[in-house]
Chain A
Amino acid sequence: MRLSELNVGEKAEVTALKAVGAIRRRIMDMGLIKGTQFKVVRVAPLGDPIEISFKGLYLAMRKNEAEGIVVCKVDAFNGEEFSQADQQPIE
């Protein structure tokens, strides 16, 4: 599924990047690469940009950009409740 389809409060892990061009680069530089786990924090009042948090940082992005990120949902972050070995398989 895509990042844009997640609901507020859900946790997920990046499995691939579909975005192309400069924005792809920017997303990668921000640290959103395969394996990065994040949480959807909120949606802006008017419904568009969404805010996610990972590795202690908060990132806002439009749904349009979020569509370029393929993710799979996880129940908990690595090292939070499950151990490393319990990683969710890639969808």
Chain B
Amino acid sequence: MSDGKEICIALAGNPNCGKTSLFNALTGAHQKVGNFSGVTVEKHEGYLDYKGYRIRVVDLPGIYSLTPYSPEEIVTREYLIKETPDVVVNVLEGPNLERNLLLTTQLMELEVDFLVALNMIDEVEEKGIVVEIKQLQKLLGCHIIPTSAKKSRGLDSLLDHIIRVSRKDIEISKNKLFFRPEVEASVDKIAAMLTHQKELGGYNARWLAIKLLENDREVYHEVQCYPVWVKIELVLQEALREAERMYDSEPEMLITEDRHAFIRGAMQECVRQPGGVKTSASDYIDMVVLNRVLGLPIFLLVVWAIFQMTFTLGSPLMSALEFLFGALATAIAPLLPNETLRSVVIDGIIAGVGGVLVFLPNIVLLFIGLSFLEASGYMARAAFVIDRVMHRFGLHGKSFIPMITGFGCSIPAIMATRTLKSRTDRLVTIMIIPFMSCGAKLPVYVLLTGAFFAPDVAANVMFGIYLLGIVIGLWTAWILKSTVLKSDSEPFVMELPPYRWPTFTSVFFQAKVKSLMYLKKAGTLILSAVIIIWAVSNYPHNVALEKELSAESAQIARSGVAAAEKMKLQNRLELRIKSEQLEYSLAGRAGKVLEPLIRPLGFDWRIGIALVTGLTAKEVVVSTLGTIYSIGQSNGAPVELKSILRQDPSFSQATALSLMVFVLLYIPCVAALGVMKKEVGRWRPVLLYSLYSLSVAWIVSFIVYRVALLMV
């Protein structure tokens, strides 16, 4: 379609202004959108073809200004300055224009080719705000296109203008923002010194000069290695003295004030707000949700409601799926004449993979609940309400957002910590995220609470497990912060966006993406794990046991007892032989080696094997139990894992509790460990951490098991 004309555009704007929404609307992608600052922490690219052009769209993390603050913001600045996209699309949050224009003034200084997407124009109109676009265009020296990423408005016009800007086919001349004369004098002096430096030719001299006056560390480093630095330094010192003397301030502050003054002027000239102070819907909601008395209970209620929903809405769907897989196994079994093949399919694939797939409804519901939290705007409120508590443990209210994400999956949560500025706070938050019980652990809880607790207490037991995770996590944070990772706590300044209705499509696609991921995991990783587990728990065959089986079967057949009695004897015999064979297998032998270590927690060797294989992915714990118990069945008929566990003498309520706690706390799955390594940079802390979590899991499970034994 495109004839080789490629345009690269970058979406830059304040956090939460709708860049990713616009990116999705333009490219048809389904990147994550949420109503709080710092949803996007990495750059994403997408393509679209428009009028013979191939347009590469780059979505960037949000920034408030070109002087970055946290790691994810550095990505954006680096991209804008070093990669120089053809056109920068400055996305503005329409209802919040004044603050958003600060970045625009900085793009003006950078002298890149840019245009403005005045986003959320639907909300602007709803509020009765009128923007004189023509006039504002002149002041900003760029095109302004009203858009609504949510309602897909203004997209074609935006694209048309992007093409025109990239072809330099524009009739709006760039405007310059002038600072007060004292600042301008210093800027000019430094710029003049820099224009003679060929090596720095990549950047415009005026911008470098402004950044130097703003104490921009990166630019300092850049310029410092040139001889001209000696002269520049003198000018900078002079400017500092001057600002101090005349304004009792410093150049950085004066520059920012002048930018704001410019914006103020532009706002007065071009934007008409409806008079009077109106209380918005968000204000009313916050009066309740952030109320001094109700705030905390509401917060707990919200989290509790999500888990309750996951459980109660999910369980009938789960039962239906269980029934389906049971029926499938019964239907398939007679069609498979070969006994080995039958065992692979029934004991391995259906018991193992099917055993995990039945939890799909719970997982999807959990993610729907979480995406509702993220999309509504409550996330920032939760951080606000809980910050005090987090602070006590040396953490940051903002750390709380990745923690909540961690209830879904640790991997995006660990990446989301990039919004934290301080490195130690990031490290600590990364280390506690795995204690936030992720979606993959959910099947273990649902299985065990379903098997050993009455339906009405099951959800609360599960909620208790989640709370335990939070408590252990905070405790870990506190220990880390007061020993190895001592540091001042990171400042907390955070915007509270207005509440917004989650869009159906974004919630739907989040749920769809998560379900597909889950299915894919079941079809690849879990399937292969299950087949390996099946093999190691079947082989090697104990020939002696087989002989014993046939000899004793013959004996039973020859004996003179009644047919019913014969059957019973035969069954008992087969069960005994099977379990002896299982113990003889590779898995059995490995498990027996492990058993002494986990016996104090109430686990037998089968659970030991499940816990080891669970390191690949936590759902595999359930698959492994499914396969091992299914193989150990006497007649090979498919039986629900839940009822097998219930009948197993080595399993009790206390074991179930202990196992849930252990799965909650022990070493994160390999994928999470990998991401941890990537974010932390080194293996050592990650390995130490694994050791730590394993010990904590052992100790807490031990306590829980012993206490439960006493109480039950």
- Pair A43/B492 contact, Cβ less than 8 Å: no
**Nearest 4 A/B pairs, CB to CB:** A45-B295, A46-B388, A48-B388, A23-B491
Contacting B at CB under 8 A, from A49-67, are 49, 51, 55-62, 64-65
A54–B65 CA distance with the chains assembled, in angstroms? 18
Q: Which one, B252, B296, B391, B495, contacts A59 given CB within 8 A?
A: B495
Contacting A at CB under 8 A, from B280-295, are 286, 290-295
Flag whether A22 is at the interface (Cβ < 8 A): yes
Flag whether B642 is at the interface (Cβ < 8 A): no
Total B residues in contact with A, Cβ cutoff 8 Å: 39
B-side contacts of A57, CB under 8 Å: 96, 99, 495
A43–B252 CA distance with the chains assembled, in angstroms? 31
The secondary structure that dominates the A interface is: mixed
Which one of B164-172, B253-261, B603-611 is at the A interface? Answer: B253-261
Shortest CB–CB separation between residue B126 and chain A, in angstroms? 14
A-side contacts of B383, CB under 8 Å: 60
Flag whether A74 is at the interface (Cβ < 8 A): no
Question: Can you list 14 residue pairs at the A/B interface with Cβ under 8 Å?
Answer: A22-B491, A25-B65, A26-B64, A28-B252, A30-B99, A44-B384, A44-B387, A46-B385, A46-B387, A48-B387, A49-B492, A60-B397, A60-B496, A65-B493
Q: Which one, A17, A31, A43, A58, contacts B496 given CB within 8 A?
A: A58
Shortest CB–CB separation between residue A18 and chain B, in angstroms? 12
Flag whether A29 is at the interface (Cβ < 8 A): yes
A-side contacts of B571, CB under 8 Å: none
- Pair B387/A49 contact, Cβ less than 8 Å: yes
- Pair B64/A62 contact, Cβ less than 8 Å: no
- Pair A42/B494 contact, Cβ less than 8 Å: no
Q: Which one, A22, A45, A65, contacts B492 given CB within 8 A?
A: A65
A-side contacts of B286, CB under 8 Å: 42
A-side contacts of B290, CB under 8 Å: 42, 44-45, 51
Flag whether B389 is at the interface (Cβ < 8 A): yes
Q: Which one, A30, A43, A45, A56, contacts B493 given CB within 8 A?
A: A30
B-side contacts of A44, CB under 8 Å: 290, 295, 384-385, 387-388
Q: Which one, B257, B494, B496, B497, contacts A34 given CB within 8 A?
A: B257
Contacting A at CB under 8 A, from B348-389, are 380, 383-385, 387-389
Shortest CB–CB separation between residue A90 and chain B, in angstroms? 11
- Pair A31/B98 contact, Cβ less than 8 Å: yes
B-side contacts of A49, CB under 8 Å: 384, 387-388, 397, 492
Contacting B at CB under 8 A, from A2-30, are 17, 22-23, 25-30
- Pair A51/B99 contact, Cβ less than 8 Å: no
Q: Which one, B69, B292, B494, contacts A60 given CB within 8 A?
A: B494
Flag whether B67 is at the interface (Cβ < 8 A): yes
A65–B491 CA distance with the chains assembled, in angstroms? 7
A-side contacts of B64, CB under 8 Å: 26, 29-30
Flag whether A47 is at the interface (Cβ < 8 A): yes
A6–B102 CA distance with the chains assembled, in angstroms? 27
A22–B252 CA distance with the chains assembled, in angstroms? 12
- Pair A28/B253 contact, Cβ less than 8 Å: yes
A30–B67 CA distance with the chains assembled, in angstroms? 12
B-side contacts of A56, CB under 8 Å: 95-96, 98
A-side contacts of B576, CB under 8 Å: none
A78–B64 CA distance with the chains assembled, in angstroms? 26
Contact A33:B495 (CB < 8 A) given known A26-B64, A45-B290, A55-B98:
no
